[in-house]
Structure 1
Amino acid sequence: MFHPIPLYIGLRYTRAKRRNHFISFISLISMLGIMLGIMALIVVLSVMNGFHQEIRERILSMASHATLSDPNGGGMADWREVLEKVRAHPDVVGAAPFVEVQAMLVGPSNVSGALVRGIVPVEEDQVAELRRDMVHGSVDDLKAGDFNIVLGRDLAQFLGVVPGDKVTVVTPQVSATPVGVMPRLKRFTVSGVFSVGMADYDRSAAFIQLDDAAKLMAFGDAVSGVRLKLTDMWEAPRQAREIAYDLGGLYRLVDWTQVHANFFRALAIEKRMMSVILSLIVAVAAFNIVSALVMAVTDKRADIAVLRTLGASPLSVMGIFIVQGTAIGLIGTLLGVVTGVLLALNLEPIIVGIETLFGVRFLDPSIYYISELPSDVHWQDVVVIAVSAFVMSIVATLYPAWRAANTQPAEALRYE
């Protein structure tokens, strides 16, 4: 069977036992370096993808894709008409009114600030996942006139309350009384506790019934705004603009990409920088091939001279060492992709096992946004990583192969 000479000899050099074992060792280290670099890059990017997805889902489980409000910062008195119009829009999946206020919650043992939101439980199900996140009680206990309140788990623990206890909600608004101007306050009964898994919500969010919130804020029949869930969260900016245009531009409409713009931009920059930093590991491993091939060229000077004497062209000699270095890079790339993908796909049970075995906690929910280490393998990332590593391996072979091609037979055989 015919084999191209550069391919045949290059592959034979790759698998042959060399007289100089140090060269073999350097080649093995280069291969392992490429494998470890690719594996680390795939795992880290998968974790960052999973982290971003988890954060996005948890934020949007409490926030909304878009929010309609009064441009002057006041209440929306015609919110019922707005609800009818937006629910008829083809890009709107659900809509719910809300009343929102920054308040002070006073418990038996502590005082804490919180974002108190008035909702209608049945309508809130259209735009948020509060019902799913309940750990005690039910959102259906939020009934008009009962003055019940649902607290985040960390907030309830800080205030020292459990379902059935009382908390006092103190708002920035004031009321004139016979003894002077006093802040508006109201006693609420804790009817439930929720847990999103994000400290931002579990520690500083509370929910009450919409009518109770309107009374507390003296809004009358108005609300703070209308929250929307759209058909495609990634198209929220465009869809939000279309909805605002259909409403005649009378309302302020903000989508989730604007509310959390800095946060998600920071996550994107972090992922990009981590990719660059970890790519340097692959680059260093790939260019270790240079040292391995330079020593291989020196070790094979006599063989190169014989090949040249027998009629091999400089291009053929160059091809031999390109094949040898490419084989090292290809094997390292394949091993790195396989081990990286397998590790990324099974990362969560591995982390749980390590935490159980050593009694440690890698992500403290009081510090980090999430308490688990999710992994989401994006195959386009895997392809880009593999192709980039393989290309760097090929580039690393060019200089040693060029040196081999310029070996002069007479000089190489002079001292043999």
Structure 2
Amino acid sequence: MSVATETDRQGEAPSGTRPFAGFEWLLAGRYLRTRRREGFVSVIAGFSFLGILLGVATLIIVMSVMNGFRKELLEKIVGVNGHIFATPIDRPLDDYDVVSQRLRSIPGIKMAIPLVEGQALASSQTGNGGVLVRGIREADIKAIPFIGGNVRRGTLDGFDTAGGVAVGKRLADSLGLQVGDSINIISPKGASTPFGTAPRIKAYPIQAVFEIGMTEFDASFVFMPLGEAQAYFNRDGDVNVIEIFVDNPDRTQVVRDAIEADAPRPLVLSDWRQRNRSFFNALEVERNVMFIILTLIVLVAALNIVSGLIMLVKDKTADIAIMRTMGATSGTVMRVFLITGAAIGVIGTIAGLALGIVFAKNIKSIMAALNWVTGANLWDPTVRFLSDIPSVIDWGEVTSVVVMALVLSLLATLYPAWKAARLDPVQALRMG
């Protein structure tokens, strides 16, 4: 009786000490080691470990790329096009200077830029393509960081008076043009003649070439001096729209309310959320679906832990019975198998976390290396809008992924450990 009592004390953790005894860790470690007779169990444990590792790493990498993709697109779309768009209601916007100045005085607004916009065809001796022509003043185009801060060739100095245009790098490359070459701008809305409206064709020298980093913009934007654009599109000293840039894009509605309360004249207002709602909603749906799909990888790996532990319990039935007859409690047996299964999940999650963060932080270098090895461009900017693959690690999301993987791994160990603890030692010895 005293021997059994003493053994019970060894099997259970004393009050106030750690819940897992040293010999329980030792026994769990022995069960995790590969032995010839238990090779298949170890193979399942290995695949479970790899599944959790790859699942966690892939989740972190994919979510980081999706975050980077959304952040880059949002910054570039909103950074070039503005946050709020004001268009006239009752009469042409010929008092744009007064209106712009009044808008700039409203709290939360950092820029109000009058623009003339029109679609046209750009051509050269080597090709042609549709473009969006934007008439803008020199001070305003320099104030837009994604344009003024990304001039690759030429200069924007003297933009108002030089009579030239600024074009995107991909447009210049596709038309085979350099700074100083002439680009033909063709508009269907030209002069009226007795035979109808004749197209307007005018050649402009290229003064500057910019690169925003977003394929669609770099291949279609042509910036023209505001006065020249008004003459080209037959604007009688007015503009199409005033683009408003706010300090905080997430507080656009607050600024809109302030504009409506203090507008110098009737204006129709729209914002970047309205103009790009379907695009960003599609990105959000894709991001959520990818998270669900990749979570299934971790779930499958957790189920592999269940199957591996159940096989281990069946293989160790005799060992469990001997431990129980020597005085080990059901709690001791349960903790041994909890440690065994949890070790696979915890180590796999930590390894996946490390791999995912390293990959996400160096994804551009890794992509460049893969391009060099395969000899192919694995990131085609004409398909994916952006010139480079972006990555932004959201530590809150990383924490959620790690917690989810750990919880699934721990839950996967409960049933096999409970089954091991429920074994009847007498029946187990008889079966063994």
CA distance in 1, matches of 2:361, 2:206: 41
1:26 match: 44
Deviation at 1:92, TM superposition (A): 0.8
CA distance in 2, matches of 1:97, 1:183: 26
1:291 match: 307
Equivalent position SS for 1:319: helix
| Conservation of the 8 A alpha-carbon contact between 1:121 and 1:139 | yes
Given candidates 112, 128, 145, the residue that maps to 1:111 is 128
Residues 179, 273 of structure 1: alpha-carbon distance in 2 compared, 3 angstrom cutoff:
closer
| Conservation of the 8 A alpha-carbon contact between 1:83 and 1:95 | yes
CA distance in 2, matches of 1:182, 1:190: 25
2:413 match: 397
Residues 312-331 of structure 1 aligned to structure 2 (within 5 Å): 312-331=328-347
Deviation at 1:306, TM superposition (A): 3.3
1:224 match: 240
1:11 aligns with 2:25: yes
| Conservation of the 8 A alpha-carbon contact between 1:141 and 1:191 | no
CA distance in 1, matches of 2:268, 2:208: 32
Residues 15-54 of structure 1 aligned to structure 2 (within 5 Å): 15-16=29-30, 17=33, 20-54=38-72
Equivalent position SS for 2:179: coil
Higher alpha-carbon deviation: 388-397 or 191-200: 191-200
CA distance in 2, matches of 1:109, 1:177: 30
- The one-letter code sitting in structure 2 at the alignment partner of 1:152 is G
CA distance in 1, matches of 2:169, 2:389: 21
Higher alpha-carbon deviation: 313-322 or 84-93: 313-322
Equivalent position SS for 2:203: strand
Q: Deviations over 1:311-366 (max 9, x none)?
A: 55444433332232122211111111122112211222222233234433211223
| Conservation of the 8 A alpha-carbon contact between 1:230 and 1:236 | yes
| Conservation of the 8 A alpha-carbon contact between 1:93 and 1:126 | no
Q: Deviations over 1:208-251 (max 9, x none)?
A: 00011111222222111211221112222332333233317821
| Conservation of the 8 A alpha-carbon contact between 1:41 and 1:275 | yes
Higher alpha-carbon deviation: 171-180 or 78-87: 171-180
CA distance in 1, matches of 2:177, 2:355: 48
Deviation at 1:159, TM superposition (A): 3.4
Q: Deviations over 1:15-66 (max 9, x none)?
A: 1145523223322221222112111111111122222222222323422122
CA distance in 1, matches of 2:424, 2:277: 62
1:157 aligns with 2:173: yes
CA distance in 2, matches of 1:93, 1:232: 10
CA distance in 2, matches of 1:389, 1:245: 51
Deviation at 1:380, TM superposition (A): 0.7
Q: Deviations over 1:291-317 (max 9, x none)?
A: 111012112222322343455544443
CA distance in 1, matches of 2:264, 2:225: 30
CA distance in 2, matches of 1:232, 1:180: 48
Equivalent position SS for 1:38: helix
CA distance in 2, matches of 1:5, 1:143: 77
CA distance in 2, matches of 1:219, 1:87: 24
Higher alpha-carbon deviation: 210-219 or 304-313: 304-313
Equivalent position SS for 1:381: helix
Residues 258, 10 of structure 1: alpha-carbon distance in 2 compared, 3 angstrom cutoff:
farther
Given candidates 114, 130, 142, the residue that maps to 2:147 is 130
| Conservation of the 8 A alpha-carbon contact between 2:102 and 2:264 | no
Higher alpha-carbon deviation: 211-220 or 165-174: 165-174
Query: Alignment length, in residue pairs?
Result: 414
| Conservation of the 8 A alpha-carbon contact between 2:63 and 2:287 | yes
| Conservation of the 8 A alpha-carbon contact between 1:98 and 1:117 | yes
Residues 33, 155 of structure 1: alpha-carbon distance in 2 compared, 3 angstrom cutoff:
same
- The one-letter code sitting in structure 2 at the alignment partner of 1:123 is D
CA RMSD of aligned residues (A): 2.4
Relative to the length of structure 2, the TM-score reads: 0.88
CA distance in 2, matches of 1:366, 1:173: 30
Equivalent position SS for 1:374: coil
Deviation at 1:387, TM superposition (A): 0.3
1:368 match: 384
Equivalent position SS for 1:101: strand
Equivalent position SS for 1:77: coil
The percent identity for this pair of structures is: 35
| Conservation of the 8 A alpha-carbon contact between 1:10 and 1:320 | yes
2:369 match: 353
Residues 116, 105 of structure 1: alpha-carbon distance in 2 compared, 3 angstrom cutoff:
same
Residues 196-215 of structure 1 aligned to structure 2 (within 5 Å): 196-215=212-231
Structure 2 gap ranges (5+): 1-12
Residues 233-244 of structure 1 aligned to structure 2 (within 5 Å): 233-244=249-260
Higher alpha-carbon deviation: 378-387 or 180-189: 180-189
1:406 aligns with 2:417: no
- The one-letter code sitting in structure 1 at the alignment partner of 2:80 is M
| Conservation of the 8 A alpha-carbon contact between 1:63 and 1:128 | no
Residues 21, 9 of structure 1: alpha-carbon distance in 2 compared, 3 angstrom cutoff:
farther
Higher alpha-carbon deviation: 221-230 or 172-181: 172-181
CA distance in 1, matches of 2:404, 2:24: 22
CA distance in 2, matches of 1:315, 1:15: 18
